[in-house]
Structure 1
């Protein structure tokens, strides 16, 4: 089914813009809260007031000679009112608001014209009519252009935020894809060897490995996942490593059953992988990995501790930890991840806010 491209509307032929001008774009409350938080540029106020004062100063002699000193406060009050309407349009650049401002302005001008006529100042108004029309046109045009500019500004910000979200999702998937691929190859190599030699450990390892893959594959599609799913993935990973390392690896997992939280997928798994790679495997005797999770007020505190040699002098974060920190801060700006010597071993502490 073919579709014809839509032609842009010709402004001059769009009668609605003559009677009911403004942008047709309507922002939701969520969109305004997300992309419409730019403050009113106070430089506009300064520019308008400075020009009004200069204009009054240039014409001060004529004002004094005509004894129309009321012009001074009238001009400043008008400028203040015009800027107030402009700020109102800035906060909500809708077509409805713009037309309320325009038709309200015309109504005020019409009412003042009638009042001036009754006071016998009709001739003076007629003399100033070209200037008044120019001022009215300037005010109306300024409100109109301001509204269109503000709509374009918010739309541009929404597009920018959408691109940032897309980049973050891509970054999350790439980071998840970097979770130690050599673990998969080593596990497959062990599994193949045990199958070839008829080792009884092959079947349990295959079950754990299948369950591990089933738990980790959704990581590539999720931005957040329940803590229980993360811990189950870690449990399968540790079971596989225990099958490979035998008595050299022991582990405990202490997580309350009622603890409910969301976190970026693979976060705890990366900490456990580091604990085994740097704390357990380098030691001939092996070691123990202890994982605990608890709620501390409005925060989730999760620790991964090993009894290995501890942090190496001059240690820097590798790819896994760097990705973990970046994903953690992207999802929870107030979260922290610290590594410290535990004497013996190393302890990684993850703290993130919970709803």
Structure 2
């Protein structure tokens, strides 16, 4: 295929930017709410006013109409900045061109009126300066609008990338929820079925319910706390079937339909409590899951009565990933681990939406 000729390139050029310049993208109200909340840079005001005063001082030191030129110049500067703020709030091609054409029309009408009133010589003398100032103002508006539109687009891309990364982390985290737990459970189930053990049927029911509650995690960024607790309840029932009397647990969590959290987060804390607080002990141990309201927060604790945190303990990869997922999804939430003598307590605080209904104290 032959390269396009200069004529074809000229014909293919989008000439609309010559007559209707500005950004092509129009942001929706939701996009502006998400990415357009940057405040107006106050430094622009200072820069404009300082330069405007310098221009007036250089061009009109001995002007016979000095008394009104300075106030008029400062008022026009204030109006130009007001239009700039208007463009900053919604940087669209329509707004930019409306402002430009209004300014051009106003300057033209003002020039004609001055000529009619006998100021032809004054207009001819000041015309180059007026045109230079008008060109500078319109160019500044154009550059500001393009910059603002690119700024919002960049922020929207950044937010989209953060959301995609969060979704990926959620899926990776849910895919890594102790796969050996699944294999060990299936092995126990197969053994009990082969030996005709009566524990096989209850274990199969709990395991099926656990999988039914777990699989939707792969498609969720956040899930209701009630669903998370139900999944944890099924997990603990399976582990108690496997560990027998070595595992005891108690769940006392209020029904909070408005509280959301990253999927599998409480489950990860419970798994860690069993792995470090129950399984290492021959006698086993007890897991406690409780929650209470504290103003507009829900404080949830996962405790065990095991050996507690080891001396020189440092946060592992699993807990670090859990904390990062929590902060990315809910910046107001917190997660801490403390010794409880005996045992360890993981404390999770979750925000309660203002429109959430008051919950009962027991599930």
Please tell me the TM-score bracket, short chain as reference: 0.7 to 0.9
State the Cα deviation string for residues 192-212 of structure 1 (Å, max 9, x = none): 333333333223222222221
User: Which secondary structure does the structure 2 equivalent of 1:256 belong to?
Assistant: coil
Structure 2 Cα separation of the partners of residues 330 and 314 of structure 1: 28
**Pairwise CA RMSD of aligned residues?**
2.4
Partner of 1:3: none
Do the aligned partners of 2:228 and 2:267 also contact (CA within 8 Å) in 1?
Answer: yes
Partner of 2:179: 181
- Give 1:203-282 correspondences, 5 Å limit: 203-257=201-255, 260-282=258-280
Structure 1 Cα separation of the partners of residues 332 and 164 of structure 2: 22
State the Cα deviation string for residues 218-244 of structure 1 (Å, max 9, x = none): 111111112221111111111111111
- Give 1:298-309 correspondences, 5 Å limit: 298-309=296-307
User: Is 1:67 matched up with 2:64?
Assistant: yes
State the Cα deviation string for residues 133-185 of structure 1 (Å, max 9, x = none): 23222222222232222222211221121111111111111122222222122
Partner of 1:38: 38
Do the aligned partners of 2:166 and 2:221 also contact (CA within 8 Å) in 1?
Answer: no
CA separation of 1:33 and 1:260: change in aligned 2, threshold 3 A: closer
Structure 1 Cα separation of the partners of residues 83 and 256 of structure 2: 53
State the Cα deviation string for residues 291-346 of structure 1 (Å, max 9, x = none): 11232321112111212222222222222222221111112111111222223222
Structure 2 Cα separation of the partners of residues 9 and 251 of structure 1: 73
Structure 2 Cα separation of the partners of residues 232 and 83 of structure 1: 57
User: Is 1:53 matched up with 2:56?
Assistant: no
From 146, 149, 165, give the equivalent of 2:147: 149
Do the aligned partners of 1:178 and 1:320 also contact (CA within 8 Å) in 2?
Answer: no
From 282, 285, 296, give the equivalent of 2:283: 285
In the TM superposition, residue 348 of structure 1 has moved relative to its aligned partner by: 1.6
In the TM superposition, residue 17 of structure 1 has moved relative to its aligned partner by: 5.8
State the Cα deviation string for residues 224-266 of structure 1 (Å, max 9, x = none): 1122211111111111111111111111112334665221111
Structure 1 Cα separation of the partners of residues 51 and 346 of structure 2: 62
Do the aligned partners of 2:232 and 2:267 also contact (CA within 8 Å) in 1?
Answer: yes
In the TM superposition, residue 353 of structure 1 has moved relative to its aligned partner by: 0.4
Structure 2 Cα separation of the partners of residues 227 and 343 of structure 1: 28
**Structure 2, unpaired ranges of 5+:** 1-8, 354-363
Do the aligned partners of 1:300 and 1:354 also contact (CA within 8 Å) in 2?
Answer: yes
Structure 2 Cα separation of the partners of residues 134 and 339 of structure 1: 66
Q: Which piece of structure 1 moves more, 75-84 or 231-240? A: 75-84
User: Which secondary structure does the structure 1 equivalent of 2:286 belong to?
Assistant: strand
User: Which secondary structure does the structure 2 equivalent of 1:128 belong to?
Assistant: helix
State the Cα deviation string for residues 261-286 of structure 1 (Å, max 9, x = none): 22111111111111111111111111
User: Which secondary structure does the structure 2 equivalent of 1:312 belong to?
Assistant: coil
Structure 1 Cα separation of the partners of residues 277 and 12 of structure 2: 67
Q: Which piece of structure 1 moves more, 115-124 or 86-95? A: 115-124
The alignment covers a number of residue pairs equal to: 343
User: Which secondary structure does the structure 1 equivalent of 2:40 belong to?
Assistant: coil
Partner of 2:361: none
User: Which secondary structure does the structure 2 equivalent of 1:316 belong to?
Assistant: coil
Do the aligned partners of 2:259 and 2:350 also contact (CA within 8 Å) in 1?
Answer: no
Do the aligned partners of 2:273 and 2:303 also contact (CA within 8 Å) in 1?
Answer: yes
CA separation of 1:292 and 1:260: change in aligned 2, threshold 3 A: farther
